[in-house]
Chains A and B, each alone.
Chain A
Amino acid sequence: MSAGIYVHVPFCLKRCGYCDFNAYAGMDHLAPRYVRAVLAEAALASPAWADELFVSVFLGGGTPTTLDPAGLKGLLAHLRHRFHVADDAEVTIEANPDTVDRPKLEALLAAGFDRLSMGAQSFDPSVLASLERIHEPASVRRAFLDARVAGYRNVSLDLIYGAEGETVESWERTLSETVDLGPEHVSAYALTVEPSTPLGRKVAAGVVPSPDPDLQADMFTLACDRLAAAGYVHYEISNWARPGFECRHNLGYWERRPYVGLGAGAHAYRDDRRWWNVRPPEEYMVLVESGVLPVGGEEHLEPSDAYLEEIFLRLRIFEGIPASWVEAERAAPFLESGLLLNNDGALVPTERGMLLLNELVLALAG
């Protein structure tokens, strides 16, 4: 089956207040050692994956572009050496606008990173400020144009909506600017407040209001409308792409294809087993350096777990689930109220249904 490789780079120039990813600021000095550790982990992990063909590689973070292009190039070459990576594999690297310039982008493209996923988040300076992002809207435009000039033909912009102070009008401007730049792919996420983050603590303390779910619903609807009008296909709840530019790697997660995860806290999946690496970079490196796979936890999916995953993952990519899987009376109220559609025997959420996906999943999975 066509598998994926995920590499986690846990370094950031600065932690954003809303972010609960496994990322650390001020640890850049560990970068060379960390890259060596990932190479070592690849060597340890690859024998078990000898039979897989990998159709995607994804460098996420953190901020992978905090690493220097030479290191990244070596890393990718090494992955190709250790794993059976298809020649036409999709190779994505995440970037922050302020960590890339034209020469760097040229180097990355030359190194084989042919898909760029840029964290734009917003084109509204006040929204960027409230998200504690370090870049300015102008940086996004500059970095995007640099990418085009450098030769990138597959660029994705990440957006976040529903931060404190953001209005529908401001979101509409962000969408317009995005469409005007014309990336091949757009991810738009509703801001989620995680309790463990600085933002989560501020919300709990009542210093910052919790995002208004109704406003976020309006923003979601607006994104659907604007992006569809600009020719983007809504192929996953938070993802839109020009036809043919859907993110192959992320689709792998949702289609329950196998993937190997390398780096601190990275997740892997194959044959109803999910496992993940230890999160702290130091611990990760020490384990790998002593020749041990740095697994921090794992779970074996029971058939009921696998079924629940199948349902919620299929629903979120509009693939839907065969109507025959679900008793008719479970689906009926949702078909009636317009949250579900029956497309030739597949139950597919409508856009309104997408927003209530949890309810749909719980009702349909029983």
Chain B
Amino acid sequence: MFAIGDRVYQRELAPPEPGGRAVGSYDRWVVTDSSHIRNFCIVAHIDHGKSTLADRLLELTHAVAARDMRAQYLDKMDLERERGITIKAQAVRLAYRSQNRDFELNLIDTPGHVDFTYEVSRSLAACEGAVLLVDAAQGIEAQTLANYHLASDAGLTIIPVMNKIDLPSADPAETARELSELVGCDPSEVLSVSAKTGDGVTELLEAVIERVPPPAGSRTEPLRALIFDSSFDPYRGVIAYVRVFDGSLPSRSKIHLIQAKLDAEAEEAGIFAPEATPVAQLRSGEVGYLVTGMKDVHLAKVGDTITLAGKHRATEPLPGYREPKPMVWSGLFPAEGGDYSDLREALDRLKLSDSALHYEPETSLALGFGFRCGFLGLLHMDIVKERLEREFGLELIATAPNVEFRVIRGDEVIVVHNPSEMPVPGTYDRVEEPVVMATIITPSDFLGPVLELCQSRRGELLDMKYLSPERAEVHYHLPLAEIIFDFFDHLKSRTKGYASLDYEPWGYEPSDLVRVDVLLHGEPVDAFSSVVHRDKAAQYGRAMVERLRGLIPRQLFDVAIQASIGSRIVARETVKAKRKDVLAKCYGGDITRKRKLLEQQKKGKARMRRVGRVDVPQEAFIAALRVDQRPSGAKPS
């Protein structure tokens, strides 16, 4: 079984011959010269046909027989599939014969979401070429650009390809012009395919062989292999997806991970052909997998370099390694008290297969014991939360997501992941927040509303150009905090769904940020604290207070709901004391029903959380903290 993009394939393997190897093991993959190898990937905006093209490539290279091609769901990837995105990068080897030469084509799949930019960059680093696939009816989109720049920065040879040319709405001439302009080639060099019908796919394979250079690298140097993805198999341990640059990586060898400073065993090296197929060794230029037997996926970090343990060890790691760094933080709390240990256990188990997940215990006065969790982005956060709820049966309250702030006090840098831990104004020199470089492509007609949106989000216009008279590309410098909530939804609604967005981290910058607290009857509710720009603080406080007014049930006394910045109250609403709460009717001696209603009410009360003297129902927390909108960049499902 193997997966490319959101497709999962399964093929019956013939049973092993007596004393022999499984039929379908691929001796013929063992080529002696890396000039036969082409490592490439397909990069595309979501829905531009990457998975369908991968299907055709597999079919054409007979990796999978046409009748065996059936897309099917794989349990563990439910979430990814429902969201129409690819999270796990995979690599598959394709055998292709061109002009009487056998070639080994390694198709490396890349994730397609902004949350996973670093993972994309490592997958790209495993390739020499990239097929830049663009829907001829849609033209270039923001992800096309972002991926193009990533691929081009990684030094990859770009093959511009238009897909869906069979669609009546396709505009090949215009798309070819846009693509050639972007890539800097002649429009005639842009290939045309229909992944659906298979038209032009052979030509594409020929172009891959012709244009993508074979891997460089030395077979005699000490081993250096890049981990571009990893996964966790409960039976076999950590599986690393690797690209060998120098030397060779034999099965059953002692290996060393340079960044992790860790020795391990290469229990089995193999290739996806397309099923996992063991090989004696992976050599310079090749792509495959490595079963390590390690029990924690964090030990095989994406971007790490594998070399051999012992005296043949390489000392220099491959470039580009980065610690996976959470961009978005949120507190996760069990909805019902007492599930804390279940949540801890679930997070521990989730982390085995999700190296990007961070968490540390957090105690909230309002929500009790939970964890402050760090995610790559909002999508990642949603996926983790859904997996916790779905796979572990937990009911959770998530606090509003926030970015990481840096509080500068003299020489000291305090990293703040939790708004309620933000120091009071006057006790520090300044606060810095993460900023991003955002790329937006929009029909020119909607340029005004798009610029207005970015301006309202504290954006700074860096650059703007027209891809054609109808379409414009703008670059904005934006605080990350301004786009993690609902930016993408606003962008979509202002452009009738036509605009696309991508962004990349652009460091930290000083900003006039303040903490806004929400008080119930004078008691601050830590779960509702937020760090926002001073210009928007009062507005935020008012919105939060108004929202809560509709959610806090009436109590036996007037409840003041206030928002404050430091000691200054910026908004106030009152939930008036309730005056009537009685089951007045008493009919025909049915006391049972009345008692049951009272017992129900008692249970409801017991489920509430107490903030000072105020009873707050679970639902109020959930509703008040809800991020209604879908995370930016995700495909609406």
Q: Nearest chain B CB to A177's CB is how many angstroms away?
A: 21
Taking a contact as CB atoms under 8 Å apart, the answer to whether B579 and A60 are in contact is no
Instruction: List the B side residues contacting A178 at CB < 8 Å.
Output: none
Cα-based distance from A237 to B579 in the complex (angstroms): 14
Q: Nearest chain B CB to A22's CB is how many angstroms away?
A: 8
A220, CB-defined interface residue at 8 Å: yes
Q: Nearest chain B CB to A117's CB is how many angstroms away?
A: 12
Chain B positions 553 through 581: 1 when the CB is less than 8 Å from some CB of chain A, otherwise 0: 00011000000000000000000101111
Taking a contact as CB atoms under 8 Å apart, the answer to whether A254 and B586 are in contact is yes
Taking a contact as CB atoms under 8 Å apart, the answer to whether B588 and A213 are in contact is no
Provided the pairs A308-B599, A312-B594, A362-B601 are in contact, do residues A354 and B589 lie with their beta carbons within 8 angstroms?
no
Provided the pairs A305-B595, A359-B556, A361-B598 are in contact, do residues A354 and B588 lie with their beta carbons within 8 angstroms?
no
B411, CB-defined interface residue at 8 Å: no
Within A214-231, the residues touching B (CB, 8 Å) are 214, 216-217, 220
Within A12-48, the residues touching B (CB, 8 Å) are 21
Provided the pairs A214-B580, A359-B556 are in contact, do residues A276 and B590 lie with their beta carbons within 8 angstroms?
yes
Provided the pairs A217-B579, A220-B580 are in contact, do residues A192 and B585 lie with their beta carbons within 8 angstroms?
yes
Provided the pairs A213-B580, A217-B580, A355-B579 are in contact, do residues A238 and B586 lie with their beta carbons within 8 angstroms?
yes
A324, CB-defined interface residue at 8 Å: no
What DSSP secondary structure best describes chain B's contact surface? loop
A295, CB-defined interface residue at 8 Å: no
Taking a contact as CB atoms under 8 Å apart, the answer to whether A189 and B585 are in contact is yes
Cα-based distance from A253 to B592 in the complex (angstroms): 11
Taking a contact as CB atoms under 8 Å apart, the answer to whether B586 and A253 are in contact is yes
Taking a contact as CB atoms under 8 Å apart, the answer to whether A267 and B590 are in contact is yes
Cα-based distance from A265 to B592 in the complex (angstroms): 13
Taking a contact as CB atoms under 8 Å apart, the answer to whether A358 and B583 are in contact is yes
Taking a contact as CB atoms under 8 Å apart, the answer to whether B592 and A359 are in contact is no
Instruction: List the B side residues contacting A265 at CB < 8 Å.
Output: 588
| Number of B interface residues in the complex (CB < 8 A) | 25
Q: Nearest chain A CB to B49's CB is how many angstroms away?
A: 45
A313, CB-defined interface residue at 8 Å: yes
Instruction: List the A side residues contacting B579 at CB < 8 Å.
Output: 213-214, 217, 352, 355-356
Cα-based distance from A250 to B586 in the complex (angstroms): 9
A274, CB-defined interface residue at 8 Å: yes
B591's contact among A6, A190, A313, by CB below 8 Å, is which?
A313
Taking a contact as CB atoms under 8 Å apart, the answer to whether B582 and A355 are in contact is yes
Instruction: List the A side residues contacting B587 at CB < 8 Å.
Output: 21, 60
Cα-based distance from A60 to B588 in the complex (angstroms): 7
Taking a contact as CB atoms under 8 Å apart, the answer to whether A312 and B598 are in contact is yes
Cα-based distance from A238 to B584 in the complex (angstroms): 6
B465, CB-defined interface residue at 8 Å: no
A123, CB-defined interface residue at 8 Å: no
Cα-based distance from A103 to B601 in the complex (angstroms): 48
B582's contact among A237, A313, A337, by CB below 8 Å, is which?
A237
Taking a contact as CB atoms under 8 Å apart, the answer to whether A357 and B589 are in contact is no
Instruction: List the A side residues contacting B557 at CB < 8 Å.
Output: 337
Instruction: List the A side residues contacting B602 at CB < 8 Å.
Output: 362
Q: Return the chain A residue nearest B586 by Cβ.
A: A253
Cα-based distance from A361 to B588 in the complex (angstroms): 21
Q: How large is the interface on A (under 10, 10 to 19, 20 to 34, 35 or more residues)?
A: 35 or more
A269, CB-defined interface residue at 8 Å: yes
Instruction: List the B side residues contacting A337 at CB < 8 Å.
Output: 556-557
A8, CB-defined interface residue at 8 Å: yes
A309's contact among B576, B583, B595, by CB below 8 Å, is which?
B595
A356's contact among B576, B580, B588, B599, by CB below 8 Å, is which?
B580
Instruction: List the A side residues contacting B576 at CB < 8 Å.
Output: 214
Instruction: List the B side residues contacting A358 at CB < 8 Å.
Output: 581-583, 598, 601
B598's contact among A220, A274, A276, A308, by CB below 8 Å, is which?
A308
Taking a contact as CB atoms under 8 Å apart, the answer to whether A267 and B584 are in contact is no
Q: Nearest chain A CB to B240's CB is how many angstroms away?
A: 56
Cα-based distance from A82 to B211 in the complex (angstroms): 106
B578's contact among A8, A21, A268, A356, by CB below 8 Å, is which?
A356
Instruction: List the B side residues contacting A356 at CB < 8 Å.
Output: 556, 578-582
A266, CB-defined interface residue at 8 Å: yes
B605, CB-defined interface residue at 8 Å: yes
Within A305-345, the residues touching B (CB, 8 Å) are 305, 308-309, 312-313, 316, 337, 339
Most chain B beta-carbon contacts within 10 A, residue among A237, A299, A354, A358:
A358
Taking a contact as CB atoms under 8 Å apart, the answer to whether A267 and B588 are in contact is yes
Q: Nearest chain B CB to A101's CB is how many angstroms away?
A: 26
Instruction: List the A side residues contacting B583 at CB < 8 Å.
Output: 192, 357-358
A261, CB-defined interface residue at 8 Å: yes
Instruction: List the B side residues contacting A276 at CB < 8 Å.
Output: 590, 592
Taking a contact as CB atoms under 8 Å apart, the answer to whether A362 and B598 are in contact is yes
A237's contact among B581, B584, B590, B592, by CB below 8 Å, is which?
B584
Provided the pairs A312-B598, A358-B601, A362-B601 are in contact, do residues A267 and B582 lie with their beta carbons within 8 angstroms?
no
Q: Nearest chain B CB to A130's CB is how many angstroms away?
A: 18
Taking a contact as CB atoms under 8 Å apart, the answer to whether A312 and B595 are in contact is yes
Cα-based distance from A186 to B587 in the complex (angstroms): 15
Q: Return the chain A residue nearest B589 by Cβ.
A: A267
A355's contact among B580, B588, B590, B601, by CB below 8 Å, is which?
B580
Within B412-455, the residues touching A (CB, 8 Å) are none
Q: Return the chain B residue nearest A214 by Cβ.
A: B579
Instruction: List the B side residues contacting A237 at CB < 8 Å.
Output: 582, 584
Within A221-261, the residues touching B (CB, 8 Å) are 237-238, 250, 253-254, 259, 261
Within A257-305, the residues touching B (CB, 8 Å) are 259, 261, 265-269, 274, 276, 299, 305
**4 residue pairs, one from A and one from B, having the closest CB atoms:** A217-B579, A357-B582, A213-B580, A267-B589
Taking Cβ atoms with an 8 Å cutoff, the residues of B that contact A are 556-557, 576, 578-592, 594-595, 598-599, 601-602, 605
- Pairs A–B under 8 Å by Cβ, sample size 8: A216-B580, A267-B591, A269-B591, A308-B598, A309-B595, A337-B557, A355-B580, A358-B581
